[in-house]
Structure 1
Amino acid sequence: MVDGDPAAAGGGPGGRAGAGRAAGGRLAAPRRLAEALLIAAVSPVVPGIAHLRAGRVGVGAALLGVQAAALTAAALAGGRYRALFLELSVRPSWLMTLTAACVVVAGLWALLIAHSYAVLAPDGLAPLWRLAGGTTVSVLCLLVIVPPLSLAQYGYVQRHLIRTVFADGPVPAPAVQVAARRGGADRGPGGPRLNVLLIGAGPDAPRDPGRVGGITVAGVDTRSGATTLLGLPDGLRRVPVWSGAGPVPFAAGRPLSEVYREGAEHPELLAGGGRVRDPGAELLKRTVAHMLGQDIPYYVKVDERGVRELAGTASRAASAKKGCPFWANLRETGPMAVLKRYRRLARVLINSVNTDVPRRLLPPLAGLAAKIENAEITSLRPAAGRASAPPADHPALRALAARAPGERVPAARPVIGLPILSVSCN
């Protein structure tokens, strides 16, 4: 070899080709790295794509098959068993299973991203590129676990809400619950009609827990979901307070709203014994059922501040129509809007709602709620002030309570001897 030979100096064709191949290799590695990261990123959506790209056809096909089967089953179930999913969403045991399953899915997705990157990561990467690839994969793993872990959190919050708000244990016997029943009306959502007493607590409830107002009987047709809200004037006098087995002495001049305070201060008035969640609400429920001649097995007590906060949290719509509950406006709110605020909604519900509805009835009640969503809702409010309020056991009130849920009544006209206002909540 002669000094100064161009070939020896790398200046010949062979030297230039080697340098080109080296440069091409340096450029190809980052491209292969970018390709590996991109395929790893989409692997939770298309599992197995990285394995197919790497030539592992068996594993890749298996993962794609599992994904296709899962998506098909979910689509079919979502279309045919929506009501079932709604019922399962109020079962604490299923919610715990959902929470655990979401955590497992989050781990599997993160593992899938890491393994997909591992089978495609190019060899011979410079340390800086290896660090960049590992960092990117870590970020992708953190991002992919957010959706399932968020769903797990919703499941946990829902379970906590159900276990906190709703009663656990058997329902008291019908003989203790109701007197003056007419016929053999069923007490659960499986019967043709379900009545629930809605009790409102004023904004000063923390300072005066015995003060309530806004006493309403919600009658629901369990077949169609049609609902009538019969608002009872707070000023009703001559109230026939009922213990569940007999009358309770109560001054004729005291209004219906005072029955709650009487029960709260004297829980021994309740017949049948046993522990109840809210003696005041229980005595008021039995009294209203007795004076209307209707079976009212359950009550729901909500404080006024909670209603306002719920309405402001769950819906951006206008305030509810007069005489209609706030949830009439929730129809105008999309599911995603409710989901975004669900944790706050759950907190408000836990702090504002008290009920004796047992947990075991929540699944059928969830199905009933789906019917109410698209059904006729009518509010009946007897237009009677304190001075002109009829006795609490007025026959007109019984006649109004006996009307079929959702049945319309001419507005602002005397009906069966009692002037009322009728408002459609739809």
Structure 2
Amino acid sequence: MQRARRGQGARRSRLQTRRAERNGRYGRFIGLTALGSLVPGAGFIAAGKRRLGTTLLVILVALLIFGLAVVVLVPPGELASYGGDRQMMLILGTALAAGAVAWLLIALGSHRSLEPDGLTTGKRLAGAAVVIVCASVVVAPMAVGSRYAFTQRELVGNISSSGASNTTPDVDISDPWADKPRLNVLFLGGDAGEGRTGLRPDTQIVASIDTETGATTMISLPRNLQGIPFPEGTPLAEAYPDGFSGGGDPLEWMLNAVYANVPRDHPEVFEGVGDPGADATKWAVEGALGIEVDYFIMVDLAGFEAVVNALGGITVDVPRDIPWGNKSLPDGTCTEANGYIQQGDDQLLDGFQALWFARSRCGSDDYERMERQRCVMNAIVDKADPATLLSQYQSLASAAGDIITSDVPADLFPALIELMVKVRTQPLESLTLDNEFFGSMGTTSSDPDYDQLHARIQEILAGTPAAPEGGETGETTPPPEDTTEATGQSADNASSDRSGATIEQASGETDEPAEEPTEGATDEPAADEPVDAGAVC
């Protein structure tokens, strides 16, 4: 009896010992499987396949050293410029995708080599789950990086030049800024939405960039600039020997009318050109400012909200309650607003609010709107930090690809991105061509002295601004009462309906109101009388 009991105890002890050994082997298997999934080659070495495992480890270490060397030795600007190289993005995207697949296959191979015989189905599934979880720590970021690379390649293709141009310079891509101390880029904001006849880019801002330092001056042009001379030697100088002027409605001879009217009246000049209106506008801005305009970037403001929303909103100082959802009337008054963007410092605006903050015309003149537009641009630049761009990249790229066009050649984007890295390190200087600016020269925007304007712009860009107020860089002046309306209307009518640079049409048609108010707006209407807004932002 006792012998039988002793025999049962011995068998139980042996079973427990074997179970403990199996559990130990299984635990070791799980641990080595996790290690092999995280460090390619480690699992094969543990499984006895030392030559294969060592080779994989050497390759991994070599790739890590190479990547570290690139990050440490390549200047940040040059590293960022690779984002504009479509060929580099193709190589990077393909390499990351192939690397992710290879990593997963190696993890599965390590798992299979380490797996003990006789495992139950449950334990086999648990081992496979460990492979998936551990490998995904590396594979998932590689897959996302591959997707970003292909998206970036597609984005550059979408927004780069899509046709011929009469106005883009010939540059040596290997050193595009060698003979170009300043790069002048014209930003156009147009809205050809429902209820509007054609596209008139009412927002026109020239970014004049020092290619050595990145220091940038933003020059905001009023849309009611008239009598614009086209540069000598261009076909439009011959077509308009007395400048852009003529009979009929004066609105058809302002700066914002060049985009639609000049290509319509002189199609022979723009045969084969990708964006005839932008080409014509570049020539007009060159004639107005006396500087070469190298490239344009057009933003379709119908999709502007999506970009701001993708950034998570922008922060600006709102100088007063800004109405949204209303329109100007012929007598200079406004219809009742749907709501207001409330006054206050450091206000976070979503895309809807940011668009209305920039485009709202009621209760202000065009020069105040130009200042608000400048504030929006600066806020977007400030918000576009690397962390935000990385976290919101897909939505940003999708929105930008839909609303931005340009005549920048695709192969110039690497150099342009590298230059933009310099721009971000410098404060943006601002120059608004408002009533005070023209008044300091004894002229108006409806009848400017272009020779004097050219000299003033050259002085400002050279860093030696003239003494009269209103033309200094780095500051903007409070917008005075608008008296430059060319149509002979009262100043109030002009300030609320005709002049300046804005993000909507010159027609007085309804801005595109949203059906529902958004956060930061109030439903209580107030009288939309013109006010002295004071300093903006």
Give your verdict on TM over 0.5.
Answer: yes
Distance 1:308 1:78, change over 3 A: same
1:309 corresponds, among 291, 306, 311, to 306
What is the distance in 2 between the residues matched to 1:276 and 1:325? 31
1:397 corresponds to: 453
1:337 equivalent to 2:331? Answer: no
Distance 1:287 1:408, change over 3 A: same
1:18, CA displacement in angstroms? 3.7
What is the distance in 2 between the residues matched to 1:206 and 1:343? 31
More contact order relative to length (CA 8 Å, sep ≥ 6): 2
What is the distance in 1 between the residues matched to 2:418 and 2:10? 74
Which range moved further: 289-298 or 368-377?
289-298
Distance 1:422 1:378, change over 3 A: farther
Paired residues of 1:189 and 1:365 also in contact (CA < 8 A): no
Distance 1:381 1:125, change over 3 A: same
1:207 corresponds, among 189, 196, 206, to 196
Gap runs ≥5 in structure 1: 179-186
2:258 corresponds to: 259
Paired residues of 2:227 and 2:245 also in contact (CA < 8 A): yes
Which range moved further: 378-387 or 360-369?
378-387
1:368 corresponds, among 407, 414, 419, to 419
1:95 corresponds, among 83, 89, 92, to 89
Summarize the alignment of residues 142-161 of structure 1 with structure 2, pairs less than 5 Å apart.
144-161=138-155
Letter in 1 for 2:410: R
1:378 corresponds to: 429
Gap runs ≥5 in structure 2: 318-370, 480-535
Summarize the alignment of residues 205-244 of structure 1 with structure 2, pairs less than 5 Å apart.
207-241=196-230, 244=234
TM-score, reference length from structure 1: 0.82
2:400 corresponds to: 349
1:368, CA displacement in angstroms? 0.5
Distance 1:48 1:262, change over 3 A: same
Summarize the alignment of residues 179-198 of structure 1 with structure 2, pairs less than 5 Å apart.
188-190=176-178, 191-198=180-187
What is the distance in 1 between the residues matched to 2:176 and 2:195? 32
Paired residues of 2:158 and 2:405 also in contact (CA < 8 A): no
1:23, CA displacement in angstroms? 2.2
What is the distance in 2 between the residues matched to 1:205 and 1:113? 55
What is the distance in 2 between the residues matched to 1:153 and 1:20? 56
1:166, CA displacement in angstroms? 0.4
What SS does the aligned partner of 1:348 have?
helix
Distance 1:377 1:297, change over 3 A: same
Paired residues of 2:167 and 2:279 also in contact (CA < 8 A): no
1:27-73 deviation per Cα after TM superposition (whole angstroms, max 9, x unaligned): 44344334333333343543332233334444333333322222222
Aligned-residue CA RMSD in angstroms?
Answer: 3.6
Paired residues of 2:38 and 2:135 also in contact (CA < 8 A): no
Summarize the alignment of residues 14-53 of structure 1 with structure 2, pairs less than 5 Å apart.
15-53=8-46
Distance 1:165 1:374, change over 3 A: same
TM-score, reference length from structure 2: 0.66
